[in-house]
Amino acid sequence: MKNPIFFLIILFISLSFSAQKDNTDTPNIVFIMSDDHAVSAVSAYKDWLSEIAPTPNIDRIAEKGMLMTRTFNTNSICGPSRASILTGKYSHVNGFFKNEKGGDFDGSQMTFPKLFQKSGYQTAVIGKWHLGTTPTGFDYSKVMINWGGQGTYFNPVFLVNGKDTIVERQRHSSAQVAHDAIKWLDEKRDKKKPFMLMYQFKAPHRPWQPDEEFKSLFTDGDLPHPVNFNDDYNGREAAKKQWMEIENHMNRRDLKIDPPEGLSRYELNEYYSYGNQGEFWTPNDTLQGAALKNWKYQRYIKDYLRCVAGVDKAVGKMLDYLEENNLSENTVVIYTSDQGFYLGEHGWFDKRWMYEESLKMPFLISYPKIVEPESINSNLLLNIDFAPTLLDLAGIDIPKDMQGQSFLPQLKSNFDDVRDAVYYHYYEYPKWHMVQPHYGIRTSRYKLIHFYYDMDEWELYDLETDPNEMNNLYANSNYYTLIKKLKKRLKKLQRQYKDDMTLEEMREMTDMVVERIYNEENLNTR
């Protein structure tokens, strides 16, 4: 070698390559999850908001890997979805089926992070957790615990490793979570081991408070409405009774109305939550009717999308970090959300329903070793599949009692059906939003739902001819045979997943009141 500097450079490159190489068969995992991020607000899906509110960084994952177009939730609210993701089990099996008065997550049960940890991975969870109990199965955890475990956009309170609590005042919660996650990767983890990081945002959850830097977005005129913004809920009894209409159930906190001065803490809370139960208010007396509804929608959708922009930026930071540190080839990167959300469809905000907007979860995954760039997959997948799939990717045995299925073969471009139908069950009622408990089945074309708590209503949709689910076909005699077939399949799924209780027993689950033991007010914050 003539040039010693050249030699040294080559030596350095090959050494750092071999250091990376140690882990080639055990991929690292970065599982990114936001809260309430609808598929329509991830531009890779090319849905109705994609040009208005692009998410270029989240989309990078699909450019490099795969976009899953039919990934569904098993119970569309925060805690229950997270519990299903961790355990690979339905809510009634893992025991966490409601947020409101549903108790705490039993962290002593088997979860996929525990299995990663046992197999020699460094594991961490940073950001939103919302399961009540202290995280288990992690070498490092820093999770938001204030506002009932929801965390807040500003001054969020974090619990660190189940012991110390800290209020982070310097950054918006999304920027803080990004900062902490990168710090853990860069400085805190044991670099000799592969890692599994859960990187989880509060945004874009209610009350949609974006970081200052995104407030200048969407200031130029109104954003469009979804096609069924003015739904009249004809033929759908449960939909007529909810409390989640943009027009009638948004409160002053949601819409950023400043309170008068001098209110006590209690009065302030009353002031801000005014509107939740349909109380009428208007920001000025001239704004009424359709104009008022549009005004509320604009305030809502713009702030929601600004929060999404903050998440997108934080995702970009993580992807950059992985690239700059030679980690992206050997890291599985996933972007998802605990469930979907209504962005004005049916006139709504929030989630819970088995209708598409809240049933669907965004799911983008990159892993250059096996996933072809820019691939698209439309298999029927569930959140309970995430745990077995991640374990499979890492070559860790999947416990027999996990109810989900690994979709690793689908990542390798084998697009055989994982399943022919998915099963769903939602329990929480009446708080929040008065969504009637229901269960149902969705095949690639049809959806059959039973609302059973204090009504006995069935709904059937043909998703091919009616993708917005406006036309309930249940009473149409042409569908008699199909309904019979779907009910039979539904029963079979209930037996398969051990959810074949009586309606009375299901109602008891809704009525069950289990107060949270875990209470952040008892913790010392500094």
Q: Which residues bind ligand SGN (CB under 6 A)?
A: 35-36, 77-78, 99, 130, 150, 205-207, 350, 432-433
Considering only the stretches 75-83, 144-152, 321-329, 475-483, report the one whose residues sit in contact with Ca ion under the rule CB under 5 A. 75-83
Residue at shortest CB range from Ca ion: 78
Of 27 and 275, the one with the shorter C-beta distance to ligand SGN is 275
* Under rule CB under 5 A, residue 35 binds Ca ion: yes
Residue closer to Ca ion, measured from CB, 78 or 238: 78
x/- map, 282-321, Ca ion, by CB under 5 A: ----------------------------------------
Told to check if 78 binds Ca ion by CB under 5 A, we report yes
> Which H or E run contains 438?
strand 438-443
* Nearer Cβ to Ca ion (431/495): 431
The piece of 270-278, 337-345, 434-442, 449-457 that touches Ca ion (CB under 5 A) is 337-345
Pick from 342, 314, 250: nearest CA to 40: 342
Task: For residue 178, report the phi and psi dihedrals to the nearest 5 degrees.
Answer: -60, -45
Least distance to ligand SGN from the beta carbon of 99, Å?
Answer: 5
Cα gap 352→424, rounded to integer Å:
11
Rg (CA), the chain: 23
Q: Of 128, 116, 137, nearest to 181 (Cα)?
A: 128
Please report how close the Cβ of residue 276 comes to Ca ion at its closest, in angstroms: 17
Cα dihedral 106→109→110→115 (10° resolution):
80
In the complex with Ca ion, the residue whose CB is nearer, 26 or 276, is 276
- Minimum CB separation from ligand SGN for residue 328, in Å? 30
Contact 72, 381 (CB under 8 A): yes
Tell me the β-bridge partners of 200.
33, 127
Helices (H) and strands (E) counted in the chain, each on its own, are 15, 15
- Scored b (16 or more CB within 10 A) or e, 38-56 reads bbbbbbbbebbbbeebbbe
Shortest gap between Cβ of 128 and ligand SGN (angstroms)? 9
Closer of 275 and 440 to ligand SGN (Cβ): 275
Residues 82, 34: Cα–Cα separation, whole Å: 11
- How far is it, in rounded angstroms, from Cα 361 to Cα 341? 9
Stretch that binds Ca ion, among 51-59, 74-82, 231-239, 496-504 (CB under 5 A): 74-82
Report the nearest approach of ligand SGN to the CB of residue 205 (Å): 5
Selection from ligand SGN, Ca ion, none that 189 binds (CB < 5 to 8 A by kind) is none
Alpha-helical regions (H) of 255-345: 265-273, 289-324
What type of residue is 39?
Answer: V
User: Cβ 103 to ligand SGN, closest distance in Å?
Assistant: 14
By beta-carbon proximity to Ca ion, the closer residue of 312 and 338 is: 338
Compare residues 130 and 306 and give the one whose CB is closer to ligand SGN.
130
Residue 245, binding choice from ligand SGN, Ca ion, none, Cβ under 5 to 8 Å by partner class: none
Instruction: Give the integer Cα–Cα distance in Å for 85 and 91.
Output: 10
- Among Ca ion, ligand SGN, none, the one that 243 touches (CB under a kind-dependent 5 to 8 A) is none
**CA nearest neighbour of 112 among 138, 150, 77, 144:** 138
Q: What's the min distance (Å) between Cβ of 340 and ligand SGN? A: 11
CB 51 within 8 A of CB 365: no
Q: Which residue is nearest to ligand SGN (CB)?
A: 78
Q: Which is nearer to ligand SGN, 136 or 251 (CB)?
A: 251
Please count the other Cβ atoms lying within 10 Å of the Cβ belonging to residue 103. Answer: 19
CB of 352 to ligand SGN, least distance (A): 7
* Partner whose footprint covers residue 350, from Ca ion, ligand SGN, none (CB < 5 to 8 Å by kind): ligand SGN
**Residue type for position 263:** L
Q: How far is the CB of 255 from ligand SGN (least distance, A)?
A: 12
Cα–Cα distance between 161 and 250 in angstroms, integer? 36
Q: Is 189 or 425 the residue whose CB approaches Ca ion more closely?
A: 425
Collapsing DSSP states into helix, strand and coil, what is residue 332?
Answer: strand
Residue numbers of the site for Ca ion (CB under 5 A)? 35-36, 78, 338
